[in-house]
Amino acid sequence: MVYQGLHTLYISPLKALAVDIARNLEAPIAEMKLPIKVETRTGDTPVSRRQRQRRYPPDILLTTPEQMALLLASDDAPFLFSSLKRVVLDELHALVTSKRGDLLSLALARLWRLAPQMRTIGLSATVAEPESLARFLVPQPEDRSASADIVMAGGAAAPVVEMLDTQERLPWAGHSARHALAEVYDLIKRNKTTLVFVNTRSQAEMLFQDLWRVNDDGLAIALHHGSLDVAQRRKVEQAMTAGRLRGVVCTSSLDLGVDWGDVDLVINIGAPKGASRLMQRIGRANHRLDEASRAVLVPANRFEVLECRVAIDAVNENAQDTPPLRSGALDVLAQHVLGCACGEPFHADQLYDEVRTAAPYAALSRTDFDDVIDFVATGGYALKTYERFARIRQDKEGRWRVANPRVRQSYRLNVGTIVEEAMLKVKLVRSRHGGSGSTGTIARGGRMLGEIEEYFIEGLVAGDTFVFGGEIVRYEALVEDQVYVSRANDDSPKVPSYMGGKFPLSTYLAERVRNLLDDKRAWSALPEQVREWLSLQSYYSRVPHAREMIVESFPRADKHYLVCYPFEGRLAHQTLGMLLTRRLERMRVRPLGFVANEYALAIWMLGDASSMIRQGRLDLNALFDPDMLGDDLEAWLAESALMKRTFRNCAIISGLIARRFTGEEKSRRQVLFSTDLVYDVLRKHQPDHVLLRAARADAATGLLDLRRLSDMLTRIQGRITHKPLDHISPLAVPVMLEIGREAVYGEASDELLAEAAEDLVKEAMGR
């Protein structure tokens, strides 16, 4: 047979999915004795095989967006892809809603130039707006939009989804669902094979240990998540395929398309956070068109019951909530520009035209593109005196090429858009001279207290207090990867730790929850414990209408509380809490801090908010005015560590700061020092720098959820109802239980949480 070269590319978001598809292809190819060679190429593929694949490519290659970027950055890319006829993008919705999708779109733009005959096919079972994703699959012409043809498959059996109506007492707060452990184990025992999904890796580890503790029947139960060694993951996947496992506790590492044909039940621990994500997980059971997938949702607390109920309704209506196609990020474009120069020299005009054929970059301005080129070539105006930031340069013909071989090597070691979440070391020192917020010198050293998630520290400013390791500490400073704290005597930590699932509550489900609360007739579908809870809320306070926001105020333990219920997700509530406390400080209400969960926000203060509202000294409509997203937001961002962290991610993705070198991994301390120094220089000397623009865009759309917060503030204007109370309300109990909880070492003790809940519930009942 004449060698044909690479014919088909299959690209998926997960290594496990590529390996699974390869296994499913190889069996029929071998049975029919077809002369077709199938191989995978992921981060787990040995270097020797990757090198061979470039010289002697298989007929079908199954790979990931990062490996695609690497292949296109080689000088033999034109040879490798000239024979390409087809690209299949599996689980398209999961690829296009992140920076990985931006990187993939730019790879497609290059492939359309190298292989004009190529056709692109996208596959997805959970797309809210297929039309927007269809643009991703074809080159975008100048000044208009083009879309791929859409084929809708039907006829599949409708899924059967139930919510566990636990016989145990349903917790008022928490995320472990440990109350239902015996019932979850019983479901695993009654079914042949069960997948048990949780939202975070730490939850997966904890639930796996809990199940083994009660596994008196010796059932074969395994664990699967992205932090496990590749050999361990493959072992679990093979055992699953062979039907040797009764249960697998897993995270989003098994969310997508892996064909576990013999799975007969999916259990989702906690609220799903989105209808489409739930559909993905349900689809892992009975992976056949003619058999219904079966799933059981296990809410961890009473608010999650509401979310599970509306998610089940959405599944029954086949309603999706995947986000629309995003605009391409400039830091990803910078990485792509460098990758293009690593492959072959390019003219800026030609690359600009090519990049705009990618749907996320179709509206890219020439100014932004030229700024990105200048950034990759010099680092930008403020950094151009430093030779190490000059990564590409022009030759005599005006083409851009890599400045030296080290740049090419660094690109290959650092390609990709996934930046791992980091932990920071917490050290106890003496309070700096001058009190909180002072710029005095901090003594280095100090006793190590442990590690804390960076996302928690990024929301603090100097002087804030929080609970850590069972004691109250004051945040002094963040220096590189060290968090310096001092002991505090504050009897009410200003910013306590809070817990939440990894995924934010989708806007779509949040709206459905508000509608469910507004429709008392729909409460009949809720468990008796939750119906009783909502009825008590109606009696003691008020249940919010769909477009209304309730703000409760009440005294408790020598403090005064404001609790509101926006139902807009943890990220938006977190930002809202930070901005509201600034405003309340200016109004002399003397706020001490806040805590947020997915559904509510609680602020506590020394000032009597109820009295101030009654006297007209505190106007709630003014307090929640959307103008807080102006100067208040800018002032807070200038003080917080959030922008530095966001900038650091952009600097790493753009290739300005390398994480890895030949034979070594750059230490976190080195990366922090480099990015923090560059951030300070750019803020002072070039505030409109490409990376600062990219960081602001990331913060607005991701960590701060500004669009959602803005929409919420607009929605509630003129619709804020104040309820002055004598004591805590039933609906406020879950968010109040978050106060003082420590997020550092995972879930707080269930026993301690239950004790606190009992006390608050008695207060809420007026007892």
CB atoms under 10 Å from CB of 203, counted, come to 24
Query: Which residue spans within 26-92 are E strands per DSSP?
Result: 38-41, 60-63, 86-89
Q: What angle do CA 653, 358, 693 make, to 5 degrees?
A: 40
Q: What is the pLDDT of residues 219-266, one digit of tens each?
A: 999 988 765 666 777 788 788 878 889 999 987 755 545 555 578 889
CB atoms under 10 Å from CB of 741, counted, come to 21
What's residue 749's pLDDT? 43
Residue 328 — pLDDT band, cuts 50, 70, 90?
very high
> Residue 193: which of 250, 124, 126, 252 has the closest Cα?
250
- Evaluate if residue 139 carries a pLDDT over 90: yes
Q: Residue written as tokens 């207060």? A: 763
What's the 3-state SS for 219-252? CCEEEECCCCCHHHHHHHHHHHHCCCCCEEEECH
3-state secondary structure (DSSP) of residue 677: helix
Which segment, 155-169, 271-285, 541-555, is predicted with the most confidence on average? Answer: 541-555
What's residue 641's pLDDT? 74
Can you tell me the mean pLDDT for 435-459?
A: 64
3-state secondary structure (DSSP) of residue 556: strand
What's the 3-state SS for 396-441? CCCCEEECCHHHHHHHHHHCCCCCCCCEEEEEECCCCCCCCCCCCC
- Evaluate if residue 746 carries a pLDDT over 80: no
Length of the chain: 767
What's residue 744's pLDDT? 32
What's residue 501's pLDDT? 40
- Six-digit token string for 291: 């058999």
User: Which residues, 6+ apart, have CB-to-CB distance to 412 below 8 Å?
Assistant: 70, 73, 342
- Six-digit token string for 31: 């049975």
Average pLDDT, the chain: 84
Q: How far apart are CA 100 and CA 418, in angstroms?
A: 8
Q: What is the pLDDT of residues 203-213, one digit of tens each?
A: 777 888 889 88
What's residue 54's pLDDT? 84
What's residue 260's pLDDT? 55
Tell me the angle at which helices 366-378 and 330-343 cross, rounded to the nearest 10 degrees: 60
Measured on CA atoms in the order 187, 189, 190, 196, is the torsion positive or negative?
positive
623 φ, ψ to 5°?
A: -60, -40
What's residue 299's pLDDT? 93
Q: What is the pLDDT of residues 665-692, one digit of tens each?
A: 555 556 666 788 888 889 899 999 999 9
Report the C-alpha dihedral over residues 523, 527, 528, 529, rounded to 10 degrees: -110
Tell me the angle at which helices 302-316 and 507-518 cross, rounded to the nearest 10 degrees: 110
Q: What is the largest CA-CA distance in the chain?
A: 89
What's residue 93's pLDDT? 83
More confident residue, 426 or 267: 267
393 φ, ψ to 5°?
A: -145, 160
pLDDT-above-90 percentage for the chain: 40
- Per mean pLDDT, which range of 36-40, 533-537, 595-599, 749-753 is the poorest? 749-753
Q: Decide: residue 359, CB within 10 A, 0-12 exposed, 13-18 middle, 19+ buried.
A: buried
Class (C level, CATH) for 160-316? alpha beta
For domain 8-153+326-383, give its CATH number from 1.25.40, 2.40.50, 3.40.50, 1.10.3430: 3.40.50
Q: How far apart are CA 426 and CA 478, in angstroms?
A: 9
- Per mean pLDDT, which range of 8-17, 366-375, 568-577, 747-756 is the poorest? 747-756
> Residue 595: which of 704, 475, 737, 488 has the closest Cα?
737
- Evaluate if residue 567 carries a pLDDT over 70: yes
3-state secondary structure (DSSP) of residue 472: strand
- Six-digit token string for 605: 């203060």
Q: How far apart are CA 34 and CA 37, in angstroms?
A: 9
CB atoms under 10 Å from CB of 48, counted, come to 8
Cβ atoms 449, 485 nearer than 8 A: yes
Q: Residue written as tokens 């096919």? A: 121
Can you give the residue ranges of every domain in the chain?
8-153+326-383, 160-316
Q: Say yes or no: do domains 8-153+326-383 and 160-316 share a fold.
A: yes
- Evaluate if residue 27 carries a pLDDT over 60: yes
> Residue 170: which of 181, 180, 161, 182 has the closest Cα?
180
- Six-digit token string for 334: 């910078």
From the centroid of its chain, how far is CA 212?
Answer: 29
Q: How far apart are CA 347 and CA 217, in angstroms?
A: 67
From the centroid of its chain, how far is CA 191?
Answer: 32
Q: What is the pLDDT of residues 473-488, one digit of tens each?
A: 888 988 877 889 898 8
Can you tell me the mean pLDDT for 576-582?
A: 90
Residue 462 — pLDDT band, cuts 50, 70, 90?
confident
Can you tell me the mean pLDDT for 544-568?
A: 93
Cβ atoms 236, 245 nearer than 8 A: yes
> Residue 691: which of 655, 642, 638 has the closest Cα?
655
Radius of gyration of the chain, Cα coordinates, nearest whole angstrom:
27
3-state secondary structure (DSSP) of residue 738: coil
Q: What is the DSSP letter of 654?
A: H
Q: What is the pLDDT of residues 84-132, one digit of tens each?
A: 999 999 888 888 888 999 999 999 999 999 999 999 999 887 776 788 8
What's residue 670's pLDDT? 63
Q: What is the pLDDT of residues 305-322, one digit of tens each?
A: 999 999 898 888 877 777
- Per mean pLDDT, which range of 63-77, 135-149, 290-304, 443-457 is the poorest? 443-457
What's residue 655's pLDDT? 92
Can you tell me the mean pLDDT for 354-372?
A: 96
